[in-house]
Structure 1
Amino acid sequence: MKCPHCDYSNPEGLRLCLSCGHKLLSRNTQEQDPNNFFYEFAQIVDEIPSSQRSVKPKFRNIFSRVFRKHKEVEAERLFIVGTSLTTPTIEEVEATWPKPWLFARVFLIALFTYLGLYLGVSLFGNINFIPGLIVVGAFAVPITTLIFFWEMNAPQNIAIYKIVYVVFIGGILSLLVALVFYDLLRNNINPITIGIVEELAKVVAVIIFVRDLKYKYILNGLLLGAAVGAGFGAFETAGYELRALLSGNFHMLYYTIIWRSIFSPGGHVAWAALTGAAMCRVQGDSKFRLNMLMKPKFVFVFILVVAMHALWDSPIPGIYPFGQLILMIISWIFVFRMVRIGLNEITDKKKGLTVT
């Protein structure tokens, strides 16, 4: 279908031009709700027919769009999803594996910014670049990972401004709650209590956001949990970077930034995402109640992330960094498993609507 505005040849069935964003006028388009074209544009995938796509995890397909060329208008359309005008109904949601790509662009932007700040400090010796170096070094990878979770949120019902809100408010709130718990356990600090305290603090913050029935899907909990974990991890990393800087050793500062960035996707972000998804899984369409935290499906995930956190902080000789890398892999195996459960949930809900 050729766009009447720019003559770009679009695949059949689209309501919006991939090149210029101009509305495509067709007989089918005129008969449909004009608000839905925002979502359909954001949901564009590759040329694989929908009948050949599956909710089974195929990692090659998940990342198949990362190395393709994308127009700026595609990113613009992605950033408008989740509003009252652009949130799809459950019938419109595709219960197939999303193919995220924007997160890779965000990472490249952050990497280029970090390298510029690094040159400003190391090559030109300008200390005015140091605050930016700390902030970008702390937030680059957590935010990149968070954008991945945002793109994996198939319901597309959470706006980007909400995610930014959860990163900052949820991140600082969970840190403050953790400090309260640490103060109560000041004489019993060890890897196990650290895992319990920090994961429980993030759960408290996640509950504040997912208890809203507007965000009732498992994939919503995965995303909001990741946002809380990203804020928690980034603020914590910034603190460690400042400590390294105050030691007077710039090599220690760069060491802290690099290694905490490498491990960031498999730490606080993934763990909080799992507990957030588990919370939404046990809550379902009901209002939040404390006894939901005792349900086996939540307890299992919480014990799992606490155990991984405790092992992560364990002073076992030789565990660093190979132990952390193994734990990262395990974390993401469970993340993708939770994504699959979330997609199956959408399928079940759509079937339920069809039956009724």
Structure 2
Amino acid sequence: MKCPECAYVNPDKVRFCLNCGRKFVSGDHSQQDLNSLFYEFAQFVDFVPRHERSVEPKFQNIFSRVFRKHSELEAERLFIVGTALTTPKIEEVKETWPKPWLFARIFLIALIVFVGMYLGVSWFRNINFIPGLIIVGAFAVPITTLTFFWEMNAPQNIAVYKIIYVVFIGGILSMLVALVFFDILKHNINPITIGIVEELAKVITVIIFVRNIKYRFVLNGLLLGAAVGAGFAAFETAGYALRALLSGSIHNLYATILWRSILAPGGHVAWAALTGAAFCLVQKNMDFDSKMLLNPKFTRIFIIVVLMHALWDTPISGISLIVQIVLMILSWVMVFRMIQIGLKEIANKKVQLYTKPAGSES
């Protein structure tokens, strides 16, 4: 479909030009619909039939599209959200549970690459594959988990570029902040202080990013927190993997990557996501104030996360792995609860918008 405005050649069935935004008007929509550019965009990217959408947080509903066949074009359409052209107005945001699926494809791609790196090291004995194996192994699961949070961000107001930026800059910044705190503590390092330091470092970094008025939704805090946590987790895993390799055992390297990958979704990614969402829950549309950190809605989540982190790092003979699995499950119960709160926030904002007296400020 060639755009009459800019001559850009678009894929078939596109309802507006992906280059200049020109609408391809048809007689199938009302004038009110045509007044919304995002209506056209939403029809372009939303492949979820309305009868399949559900506000109930049931696993069979949320993950119902994971095992369906999806084209590359569908993935490409997902990656264009969050720009100035494709960010919807609040009244156009759906407050029902999204149906993420791209995260599973990201994991499959990363797994294939990791297997290739593994064969290069173990089968062909080529040490040039080791750096790639460590990098892919460290980032695969954190990025997969982050993609899930990105797909669950119903406001669709954060672009992929921004997420990549937060993963790398937020990840390294939070680690450096944690090192400063550890240097201050010196010899007073134990599971409790580790939990406090690392979670405080991550939440400080998250606050830097969510202070932008564009990212005030609870789901935004959840996503940006997950991005910081993913960077922190990946860099940390890469470091531990290198230590395992320098110990002289390639098997320790594989074991480190394997177990840290299995447990990654319930660790730094989920914890930073929860504190990020909790901060957005108390910040709302107000300017940042340090008193917000004393708000019970935030402190309650932060304390729970710190305690989970401390318990996670506490060596308990014989049952440490079981404890970590239980904590991972608990973390995701809280994550889904926070997603539910975020969706209700969107619904409430839409109600307030529709009930606002005529002539009032938006």
- With normalisation by structure 1, the TM-score equals 0.92
Cα distance, 1:48 vs structure 2 = 1.5
Write the distance in 2 (CA, Å) between the matches of 1:146 and 1:68: 21
Write the distance in 1 (CA, Å) between the matches of 2:179 and 2:304: 22
- With normalisation by structure 2, the TM-score equals 0.90
State yes or no: 1:326 paired with 2:329.
no
User: What residue is the counterpart of 1:194 in the other structure?
Assistant: 194
1:309-343 alpha-carbon deviations (Å, 9 max, x no partner): 00100011122211111100000000000000000
Write the distance in 1 (CA, Å) between the matches of 2:43 and 2:231: 30
State yes or no: 1:291 paired with 2:294.
no
Which consecutive unaligned segments of at least 5 residues does structure 1 have?
17-22
1:239 partner amino acid: G
1:74-116 alpha-carbon deviations (Å, 9 max, x no partner): 1111000000000000000000000000000000000000000
State how 1:1-356 maps to structure 2 within 5 Å: 15=15, 26-29=26-29, 31=31, 32-33=34-35, 35-36=37-38, 37-46=40-49, 48=51, 53-356=53-356
SS in 1 for 2:215: coil
1:327 partner amino acid: L
Write the distance in 2 (CA, Å) between the matches of 1:79 and 1:30: 28
1:42 partner amino acid: V
SS in 2 for 1:330: helix
Write the distance in 1 (CA, Å) between the matches of 2:158 and 2:47: 18
Identity of aligned residues (%): 69
2:96 partner amino acid: T
1:274-307 alpha-carbon deviations (Å, 9 max, x no partner): 0000010000011111100000000000001001
Cα distance, 1:199 vs structure 2 = 0.1
Instruction: Show structure 1 runs of 4+ deviating over 4 A.
Output: none
Cα distance, 1:55 vs structure 2 = 2.3
Cα RMSD of the aligned pairs, angstroms, is 2.1
Cα distance, 1:47 vs structure 2 = 5.3
Q: Is the 8 A contact 1:46 1:65 kept in 2?
A: no
Cα distance, 1:254 vs structure 2 = 0.1
SS in 2 for 1:27: coil
Change (3 A) 1:186 1:40: farther
1:112-134 alpha-carbon deviations (Å, 9 max, x no partner): 00000000000000000000000
Write the distance in 1 (CA, Å) between the matches of 2:170 and 2:29: 41
Write the distance in 1 (CA, Å) between the matches of 2:248 and 2:60: 44
Q: Which moved more, 1:319-328 or 1:79-88?
A: 319-328
Q: Is the 8 A contact 1:15 1:25 kept in 2?
A: yes
Write the distance in 2 (CA, Å) between the matches of 1:229 and 1:311: 18
1:38 partner amino acid: F
Which consecutive unaligned segments of at least 5 residues does structure 2 have?
1-8, 17-22, 357-362
Q: Which moved more, 1:24-33 or 1:230-239?
A: 24-33
Q: Is the 8 A contact 2:54 2:61 kept in 1?
A: no
Write the distance in 1 (CA, Å) between the matches of 2:48 and 2:316: 45
SS in 2 for 1:321: helix
Write the distance in 1 (CA, Å) between the matches of 2:42 and 2:151: 13
Change (3 A) 1:283 1:34: closer
